[in-house]
Amino acid sequence: MDDRAKVQASAGERLALIARSFQRLTGQPLAATPNPLWNAPRAILAHGIDVPPRFFYGNRLALELFAMSADRFIGLPSYESAEADAREERTRTFGRLETDDIVTGYGGVRIAANGMRFRIDNAIIWNLRDDAGVLHGQAATFTDWSPL
């Protein structure tokens, strides 16, 4: 099974929820066609509601930026994607999702598995809620990043 198949299997029905929740909250499609998240020209990643939250989806670009295979990415506690000194700010931002279903303009430094650091800017983070309002996790997307 390749990386695409692995993250899609990991996401299951939540894969459609990623795109549906984004569209509902922003009024814009996350990608140009119904199921192109894997090849979208933006990083897209999502974690569930486990404690701590663990990644269940990362598209091709997200896996490349984090220098991970699907096997390594799936199940990784999402806080580990940020450097230790940036985790408090990340936690505060995710705390805002308790009152707002979407946060825009987020930025921060992330670290890849190979030790490379990169800065993300203008990220959008949103809650993954089904039609009944049940929370299934959070997702993030960004198009602006730069190596450090």
Spatial CA neighbour of 133 closest among 26, 35, 25: 25
Q: What is the pLDDT of residues 129-138, one digit of tens each?
A: 999 999 999 9
Does the pLDDT value for residue 125 go beyond 80?
Answer: yes
| Amino acid 41: pLDDT | 92
* Burial (0-12, 13-18, 19+ Cβ within 10 Å), 113: middle
State the total domains in the chain. 1
Dist. CA 57–CA 36, nearest whole Å: 14
Does the pLDDT value for residue 33 go beyond 80?
Answer: no
Dist. CA 53–CA 27, nearest whole Å: 27
Q: What is the pLDDT of residues 70-101, one digit of tens each?
A: 999 999 999 888 776 666 776 777 778 888 99
Give a three-class secondary structure readout of 54-105.
EEEEECHHHHHHCCCCHHHHCCCEHHHHECHHHHHHHHHHHHHCCCCCEEEE
* Domain CATH number, residue 22: 3.30.450.20
Q: What is the pLDDT of residues 57-74, one digit of tens each?
A: 999 999 999 999 999 999
| Amino acid 99: pLDDT | 85
Cis peptide before 41 (omega within 30 of 0): no
Residue 104 belongs to domain spanning: 3-147
| Amino acid 135: pLDDT | 95
| Amino acid 46: pLDDT | 97
